[in-house]
Amino acid sequence: MECKRQFSIILIKLFFIQYLSVLCAARNFDFFYFVLQWPGSYCDTAKSCCYPTTGKPAADFGIHGLWPNYNDGSYPSNCDPNAPFDQSQISDLRSSMLKNWPTLACPSGNGITFWSHEWEKHGTCSESVLNQHQYFQTALNLKNQINLLQALRTAGIVPDGSSYSLESIKDAIKEASGFSPWIECNVDESGNSQLYQIYLCVDTSASNFINCPVFPNGKKCGSQIEFPPF
């Protein structure tokens, strides 16, 4: 009996330690990166892309993710193995997510694999602030706060394959959002640098855009970059 009691105590302690580690990991971040990607640049590469099973998405910036981050540039990931993605939690958001958070990975999919990855890698690290439904709803709300494509069009920057200065793209987004973005580029099949992803920073409540404490170490852009059609 004594052996069983001690074993039970050890199990309880291990569970408590695991719970604390997950809780601390989820609480310990400094801001979010809100990342949107241009589908034309995702597809215009040697790797190419596959449209979702629902068909070709609209020619608009799509959500890539909402990522907890630290001020030193590092980030937490996969913080809670006990909170797997559950699509039933976001059934009311599905139509909006298909439109605003489409998958372009091959083979063609319905978004579930993409969204599951984003929740389990990034979303679980914000559980102290957002549950699963709130995580996806918040990202959709943030996208609705700023129309990046319209901001660029207003500045005469359109997705027609032309090249534009990196500074003009940053200035257009700052004019619309009030904050300086970080721009990530990739290259097309000819090796030309093109506008791929736009990063904006969000406070830990996931409610407000803020000045980025640090920019990521991603693929940097040249002074002139293409904005391909989709």
From CA 19, how far away is CA 37, in angstroms rounded?
35
Q: Is the peptide bond before 181 cis (omega within 30 degrees of 0)?
A: no
Residues 6+ apart with CB under 8 A from 74: none
Choosing from 120, 122, 127, 226, the catalytic residue is: 122
Q: Could you identify the residue written with the tokens 């987004």?
A: 173
Q: Across the chain, where does the E strand assignment appear?
A: 31-37, 62-69, 163-165, 182-187, 193-202, 209-210, 224-226
- Return the SS3 of 226: strand
Catalytic residue flag (residue 133): no
From CA 155, how far away is CA 165, in angstroms rounded?
12
Choosing from 64, 127, 184, 226, the catalytic residue is: 64
Choosing from 118, 127, 184, 226, the catalytic residue is: 118
Catalytic residue set: 64, 118, 122
